[in-house]
Amino acid sequence: MAKENTEVDAERETRTERTRAGDPTDTAPDQLISTDPGREGVAEQDDEPSGATETVIEAHGLDVYYGETRALDDVTIEIPSNRVTAMIGPSGCGKSTFLRCINRMNDLIDVARVEGDLLFDGVDVYADDVDPVALRRHVGMVFQHPNPFPKSIYDNVAYGLRVQGDTDDLDGRVEQALRRAALWEEVSDRLDDSALDLSGGQQQRLCIARAIAVDPAVILMDEPASALDPIATSKIEDLIDELAESYTVVIVTHNMQQAARISDRTAVFLTGGELVEVGPTREIFEDPEEDRVEDYITGKFG
Amino acid sequence: MNDARGEMDLSGDRGFQDVRESVYHVVLLACAVVSVLTTIGIVYSLAAPSVAFFAEVSAAEFFTATEFNVNIQPITFGVLPLAFGTIIVTVGAAAVALPLGLLTAIYLSEYADSRTRAVLKPMLEVLAGIPTVVYGYFALVYVTPFLDGVLPVELNTFNVLSASLVMGVMIVPMVSSISEDSMSAVPDTLRQGAYGLGATKFKVSTRVVVPAAVSGIASSYILAISRAVGETMIVVVAAGNLPNFPSGPGDVLPKFFEQTQTMTAAMVEVLTSEIGGGTVAYRSVFAIGLTLFGMTFALNLVSDFVAERYREEYD
């Protein structure tokens, strides 16, 4: 286990250097290598207003309508890079809707209408010249139910690279993605087996591997552990923790303990698609400014 | 809960219910048995005269002779030219229907909005309701003259090409309808997963939805091919009535422009001619029918195997 972690760390540093040298959009190199992998250090930095990382996603006055129904109401939020930002709130509060705005998955719903500004890396995601297909190559997504394709384990991880026509060293990158998703040890000897033969937890880690294989900047997770048993859930949570060192993670969860365990920042949505409060996770859970948030956190509401 | 112990009535009037249930059971069983018995009866009615036929004509002649001639000396009962006719017509029809049907299904399932689909799908299925004799005349009266005008080859009035093209159009709805059903059954989460990875709509359709629906698509293919193998009226009307066997592999392609006789067409010809019952020629019809049955039965087995082999279970 210790050996495996070392390998993962080595790969992460390799990637970080590549990112630093080659990708000018990723402008937070000082935060990418953390000498102390513990999350506490990061969270403390986050508590200081000036210690936050670069904002990678920001919404201003974002409204979403499904037909006549308003699903998001004037949402304004900034999401820092290389942090885990959790979206919590009761069912139907709009947290998943917000997530699906970021990679324009709402485009697939005919009746959905988005108003307001949503910037990814400073670019308006809903501008006319933005191609959602290109956007989604930088914003990966992991869904509530594991949804591997009915193909081999290998082909699942390679799928994103193949549709993007980026097939140099496919074997190596498939292995790297599987290692990062902490699945390599379990599947390395049966990459040609159907992905549907894996357990639910393994399938979900495979979906995470599939999402990170294309090396996105942001990973969106829509209740990624809600269909899993507690052991599989804890593996996913450990994984999210590690992913945040290389990626910006935005996770929707209805499990407040989970949000408290894994996130650096938490956004609380309440009924009607209203973003009530957003801030460092510790403040939200220990001393929220809004009474409604405190009521929700303590279980008086929702 | 404990207060009610022993007070709830859990007994029922078993006697009457049991009778009623067993009546349902018997009636439903009888319905199922009818079709099984019919099938057995048909196989028997094909097999009995076939046995008599093979007592007079050797199986070797039947399966290897390249002539089928029941009227003029020398009389030969070779099923090969008829089987060739059936296969060449089926291949032509499949070449039209399989790609066209699959692409139509992709359009209906993945691209068309629900309003377009609601209009288009029933319209397409009307194609399957047109009497096959009408297709036959359409091929003979419109398609053949049209092809004769545009193709640089000499086209017989009765030819394989136009019959198989029209037959292909006829079976498109079988392919598209069943394929579309199985593509629509692919869970949306798979599509979203692919979109989430930056796949275009076309790549989502062709690399995720189609592979995931391959068992239903294969079934639709086999069903459509079986339909083409057994089709009679179109070929009788438009493809002619002359058994035609190629002299070699290089002679296969030109046969598309000539007339042919399929197994079904030969059966019709013998049964409607003045050949009396009880003759060898009459019995040959049953041997041909049995062979045809064997072919479609084999296709069905392949279909079952494919469906079983590629079926994926989704939550």
Please give the structure tokens belonging to residue A60: 């201003």
Answer with the one of B27, B56, B85 that is the final residue of a domain: B56
Cβ distance B197 to A159 less than 8 Å, yes or no, reads yes
Q: Is B197 on the interface with A (CB under 8 A)?
A: yes
Question: What is the dotted CATH code of the domain comprising A52-147+216-297?
Answer: 3.40.50.300
pLDDT higher than threshold 90 for residue A38: no
Do A147 and B193 lie within an 8 Å CB cutoff? yes
Q: Is the pLDDT of residue A29 over 80?
A: no
Say if the Cβ atoms of B192 and A137 lie within 8 Å: no
- Tell me which chain A residues have a C-beta less than 8 angstroms from the C-beta of B207: 159, 162-163
Distance from CA of A233 to the nearest CA of B (A): 19
Which pTM was predicted?
A: 0.78
A143–B189 CB contact, under 8 Å: yes
Q: Which of A163, A204, A208 to mutate to test the interface with B (most CBs of B within 10 A)?
A: A163
| Res. B12: pLDDT tops 90 | no
Span A187-195, average pLDDT: 93
B217 in reach of chain A (CB within 8 A) = no
Say if residues A73 and A103 touch (Cβ distance below 8 Å).
Answer: no
pLDDT at A6: 44
Cβ–Cβ under 8 Å, residues A264 and A85: yes
Answer for the pair A187, A202: CB distance below 8 angstroms, yes or no: yes
Residue B102 has pLDDT above 90, yes or no: yes
Q: Is residue B70 part of a domain?
A: yes
Cβ count within 10 A of residue A233 = 18
B78, pLDDT greater than 50: yes
Structural domain boundaries enclosing B44: 16-56
**Burial per residue of A243-275, b for 16 or more beta-carbon CB atoms within 10 angstroms, e otherwise:** bbbbbbbbbbbbbbebbbbbbbbbbbbbbebbb
pLDDT at A42 over 50: no
Pick from B171, B129, B163, B174: nearest CA to B234: B163
Q: List the domain boundaries for chain A.
A: 52-147+216-297
Q: ipTM of the predicted structure?
A: 0.77
Percent of chain B predicted with pLDDT > 90: 60
Q: Are residues B39 and B169 in the same domain?
A: no
Answer whether A160 sits within 8 Å of B190, measured CB to CB: no
Residue B100 CB coordination number (10 Å): 16
Residue that is written with structure tokens 């309508």 in the block: A65
Give residues with Cβ within 8 angstroms of A11, minimum separation 6. Answer: A176, A179, A180
pLDDT of A49: 37
Q: Is residue B285 packed enough to be buried (19+ CB in 10 Å), middle (13-18) or exposed (0-12)?
A: buried
The answer to whether B196 contacts A143, with C-beta atoms less than 8 Å apart, is: yes
The total number of structural domains in chain B stands at 2
In a domain, B203, yes or no: yes
- Distance CA(A140)–CA(A159), nearest Å, equals 13
Put simply, the answer to whether A160 touches B113 (Cβ < 8 Å) is no
pLDDT digits (tens, 9 = 90+) for B186-219: 999 999 999 999 899 999 999 999 989 988 898 8
**Burial profile A208-221: b = 16 or more Cβ within 10 angstroms, e = fewer:** bbbbbbbbbbbbbb
**B117 and B34, same structural domain?**
no
Do residue B180 and residue B295 come from a single domain?
yes
Assess whether pLDDT exceeds 50 at residue A143.
yes
Rounded to a whole number, what is the distance in Å from the CA of A216 to chain B's nearest CA? 9
Up-side HSE of residue B186: CA atoms within 13 Å toward CB?
A: 30
Q: Å from B174 to nearest chain A CA?
A: 25
pLDDT at position A61 = 92
Question: How many inter-chain contacts (A to B, CB under 8 Å) are there?
Answer: 71
Name the residue with higher pLDDT: B11 or B105. Answer: B105
Question: Is B289 inside any structural domain?
Answer: yes
| Model confidence pLDDT, tens digit, residues B24-75 | 999 999 999 999 999 999 999 999 999 999 999 898 889 988 888 887 778 8
Question: Does the distance separating the beta carbons of B199 and A133 come in below 8 Å?
Answer: yes
Report the mean per-residue pLDDT for chain B. 89
pLDDT digits (tens, 9 = 90+) for A60-105: 999 999 988 888 999 999 999 999 999 999 888 889 999 999 999 9
Model pLDDT for residues B120-151, shown as the tens digit of each residue: 988 888 888 899 999 999 999 999 999 999 99
Within-domain flag for B232? yes
User: Are B200 and B140 in the same domain?
Assistant: yes
